[in-house]
């Protein structure tokens, strides 16, 4: 319930900002970075289904759309963190289980919310204790989601209405994340700007 309330508040703030003419802008050619980040890429079947849903939305032209292979859940940003012990920290952990939630907006993105089991919260807490780690800020820091659009320009009424129609298209669908990937990448995980540093299989007991 707390996650739903936070996401609802974030979307309400976004709509207020747009009403005040604070138009989001994004240029993928100038995406900031690089960032060192631990991510979980979505399983191919779920990514394809999500991409299909996004493809039904109206008035997405001009906004940046994530390709299926870019769709991911950020576990933690690891800039400045000593991640030499990360492999040992992950050994013996089982897959992370999440469920699809609802489509929703932030000021800058359209995302799919995800509900996570306690294992994700515990993993993030342990990562936050690694040397060099700093507790992340922001309302989204403890939530699970995957961005599907980076907004660039006015958000049209037809986009808002089509998101509302498909808001719960993936609600309750199971994602089993069996691998985490350490990457150095830009803000959207552009393939040409992404370097894979390590992969960690979950459920591998060494």
CATH of residue 6's domain is 3.90.1140.10
Structural domains in the chain (count)? 1
For the chain, strand residue ranges (E) read 35-41, 64-65, 72-77, 96-105, 109-116, 144-150, 174-177, 179-185, 195-201
In a 3-state reduction of DSSP, which class is residue 78?
coil
Q: Confirm whether 59 is domain-assigned.
A: yes
How far apart (Å, rounded) are the C-alpha atoms in residues 53 and 48? 9
pLDDT per residue, tens digit, the chain (206 aa), is 578 888 999 999 999 999 999 999 999 888 788 899 999 999 999 999 999 999 999 999 999 999 999 999 999 999 999 888 899 999 999 999 999 999 999 999 999 999 988 999 999 999 998 888 877 766 667 789 999 999 999 999 999 999 999 999 999 999 999 999 999 999 999 888 999 999 999 985 44
How far apart (Å, rounded) are the C-alpha atoms in residues 121 and 114? 13
Q: Confirm whether 188 is domain-assigned.
A: yes
- For the entire predicted model, the pTM comes to 0.93
Q: Confirm whether 206 is domain-assigned.
A: no
State which residues form the domain around 179: 2-201
Q: Confirm whether 182 is domain-assigned.
A: yes
Q: Confirm whether 149 is domain-assigned.
A: yes
Q: Confirm whether 178 is domain-assigned.
A: yes
Cis bond leading into 18, ω under 30°? no
Q: Confirm whether 106 is domain-assigned.
A: yes
Q: Confirm whether 8 is domain-assigned.
A: yes
């Amino acid at each position: 319930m707390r996650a739903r309330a936070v996401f609802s508040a974030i979307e309400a703030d976004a709509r207020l900002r747009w009403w005040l003419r604070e138009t989001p802008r994004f240029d993928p050619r100038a995406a900031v970075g690089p960032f060192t980040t631990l991510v979980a890429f979505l399983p191919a079947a779920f990514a394809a289904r999500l991409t299909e849903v996004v493809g039904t939305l109206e008035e997405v032209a001009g906004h940046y759309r994530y390709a299926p292979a870019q769709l991911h859940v950020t576990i933690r940003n690891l800039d400045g963190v000593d991640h030499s012990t990360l492999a040992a920290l992950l050994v013996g952990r089982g897959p992370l289980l999440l469920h699809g939630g609802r489509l929703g907006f932030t000021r800058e993105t359209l995302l799919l919310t995800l509900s996570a089991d306690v294992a994700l919260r515990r993993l993030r807490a342990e990562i936050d204790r690694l040397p060099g780690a700093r507790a992340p800020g922001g309302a989204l820091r403890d939530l699970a989601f995957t961005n599907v659009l980076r907004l660039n320009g006015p958000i049209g009424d037809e986009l808002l209405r089509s998101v509302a129609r498909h808001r719960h298209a993936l609600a309750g669908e199971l994602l089993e994340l069996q691998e985490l990937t350490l990457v150095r990448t830009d803000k959207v995980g552009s393939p040409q700007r992404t370097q894979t540093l390590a992969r960690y299989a979950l459920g591998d007991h060494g």
